[in-house]
Amino acid sequence: MSAPTFAGRTAARGIRWSLGAVVAKQGFQVLCAVVLARILGPSSYGVISAATVYIMFMSLLLDQGLSAALIQRESVARRTAGAAAGLNLLMAVALAGLTVAAAPHLAAFFRAAALEPVLLLLAAALPLKALSIVPRAMLSRELHFRGIGAADIAAAAAGAAAGISAALLGAGYFAIVPQILAADLLTAAILLGAARGPVPNLRLSEVRPLLAFSASVFATNWLAYFSRNMDNILVGRVLGVAALSFYSMAYRIMVIPVQLIGQTVNRVMFPAISRSAGDRSVVAGHLATTTRLLAMAVIPMMALVACTAHDLVLLVLGEAWLPAAPLMAVLAIGGARETVFYITPPLMKGLGRAGLNLRYELLAFALQVGGIVAGLQFGLLGVAVGLVAAGFLLTPVLLGIQKRLCGISVRTQLGNIWPPLHASLWAGGAYLGLLAVPAAPPAGAARLALGGAVFLLVLAAVLFLAHRRRLIEFLSLAQPLGSRRAQARSGRHVQTGADTTATPSHEPSNPAGAPAPANSDAPESNRAARSHS
């Protein structure tokens, strides 16, 4: 079974469905998290935060990198996909047994006895979670994002409804159990129906050709999990689950754009790059267009979150959660950087460079864990600063990887980030200046509304006056995602983005490595791009 190409209306439709699904899924999950946080308070919500670390780890172990191998291969037999599904189910049963044995020890590690019964109940969801892995991969490789989107939206809505209902009925931190069970059951049912299987089998020899690639991806994902969750693990262990609740709530804000926009990019661009791996110019075009969209969409949004963190927490979560506000401000900056660079892992995997991806994750793991451990000495805010600082130290490495794989210079890559960064700096300064005005409203909804309006007005003015060409380009690239009519008009322009990619000879003449200046939107300065997290 070979996979279709990613171009034109297929590309626009895939991006629209994937983006819509992730927006809805994250919206329902954030709604559920906020409601549970307000009902339960920081202490009880800390148990849910610790359980979430477990859920993410089990999801990683269930897959073993096989779904990425199924997507990356040029053709996949149906029986091979069924064998991968069978292996996932065997792994789910084994992990459920391991959870039963490990639950008391995990509860002791986090010094939260209430965690043990929650983990025992969540173990029952592992086979349901395993059932959806291969159908999702097969739909993704065939670019059938509609089925994936329908499953994710319905499951997130059902899970949020189940979790909130349980909390309102007095379930406490056990509310996470019906939330996960409802979501996993509906996801498996819809994806199996959309992909028409495959039926799991035990012909495990069929999986052997996938193992070399999947093992490297699995090792990479393993390192990525620990590098991105070591802060939660150490905070829960050293500072307690109450502190973990503040940190995890702030961290959730950081990962919203990563999950909302970054996951959309990963879902769509990994199969797209895999199908285009033989044409470097097409891959560079995908990279250029995606980076511009990511930078323009994410950097202003997270700058606004960083500025409004105190008012947001007070308005949405209440005074009990105010210790999360400074963490949110710091992590929002890290979230912007991470999302803009989120395309680098699918770039490496799509080009079959899983070994390079693994080496990068080894470096990322070392730097991020080092930053977290160093910051832990200074409490929660120190952990947040250490994590974000480590991420910025990784940025030159990611720029170098993109240059190596696509031939795009670092100067050109930085030029793709500069317009929204420049405008966001001015807008953030205007917001903070408003707070210094004696007549400014007190903390709360009024100041949030006024400050947000000032931020957006200054942002739009700077983009229009200094980066008009980039703003117009962004609006034209985003237009096909907005409606079916726009998609039909613009489908031919969403094919690869190669038309926006410049060769190194067309780069602007500012010093090497420096961001493009404010007037760099001149016609001669077309660019290509970069990314990851």
451-482 pLDDT, tens per residue? 899 999 999 999 999 999 989 988 887 665 55
More confident residue, 220 or 344: 344
- pLDDT for residue 12: 59
Exposure string of 327-351, with b = 16+ CB inside 10 Å and e = fewer, is bbbbbbbbbbbbbbbbbbbbbbbbb
Largest CA distance in the chain: 73
Number of alpha carbons in the 13 Å side-chain half-sphere of residue 10: 16
* 164-196 per-position pLDDT tens digit: 999 999 999 999 999 999 999 999 999 999 988
How much is the pLDDT for 161?
A: 95
pLDDT at position 177 is 94
Provide the pLDDT for residue 373.
92
Q: What percent of the chain has pLDDT over 70?
A: 84
pLDDT classification of 413: cutoffs 50, 70, 90? confident
Across the chain, what does the average pLDDT equal?
81
385 CB burial (10 A radius; 0-12, 13-18, 19+): buried
Tell which wins on pLDDT, 433 or 407.
Answer: 433
Residue whose C-alpha is closest to residue 36's, from 171, 212, 195: 171
Summarize the confidence of residues 250-254 as an average pLDDT: 76
pLDDT of residue 349: 78
> What percentage of the chain carries pLDDT values higher than 90?
36
How confident is the model at residue 488, as a pLDDT? Answer: 44
pLDDT computed for residue 211 by the predictor? 84
Per-residue tokens: 398: 């990611």
> 75 phi and psi, to 5 degrees?
-145, 150
Out of 199-203, 403-407, 514-518, least confident range: 514-518
**Opening angle at CA 250, ends 105 and 109, nearest 5:** 10
Residue 222's pLDDT band, with cuts at 50, 70 and 90, is: confident
pLDDT for the residue numbered 14 = 62
Q: Kindly state the average pLDDT of the residues 231-242.
A: 88
The pTM is what? 0.68
Task: Report pLDDT for 9.
Answer: 57
Give residue 130's pLDDT: 92
pLDDT at 59 over 70: yes
**Mean pLDDT, residues 401-417:** 86
Pairwise CA distance, residues 240 & 111, whole Å:
7
Lowest mean pLDDT among 96-105, 118-127, 373-382, 490-499: 490-499
Average pLDDT (432-446) is: 80
Across 369-380, average pLDDT = 92
353: its two tokens: 């460079």
Which pLDDT score, from 0 to 100, does residue 396 have?
Answer: 93
Question: Given pLDDT bands bounded at 50, 70 and 90, which one contains residue 11?
Answer: low
Check pLDDT > 80 for residue 262: no
Residue 407: both structure tokens together: 């031939």
Is the four-CA dihedral 239, 241, 247, 251 of positive or negative sign? Answer: positive
Q: Provide the pLDDT confidence category of residue 388 given band limits of 50, 70 and 90.
A: very high
pLDDT given at position 95: 93
pLDDT higher at 517 or 24:
24
Mean local confidence (pLDDT), 114-142? 91
Task: Kindly report, residue by residue over 287-334, the tens digit of the pLDDT.
Answer: 878 888 889 988 999 999 999 998 888 888 888 899 999 999 999 999
Distance (Å, rounded) from C-alpha 510 to C-alpha 515?
A: 8
Radius of gyration of the chain (CA): 23
Residue 15 has pLDDT above 70, yes or no: no
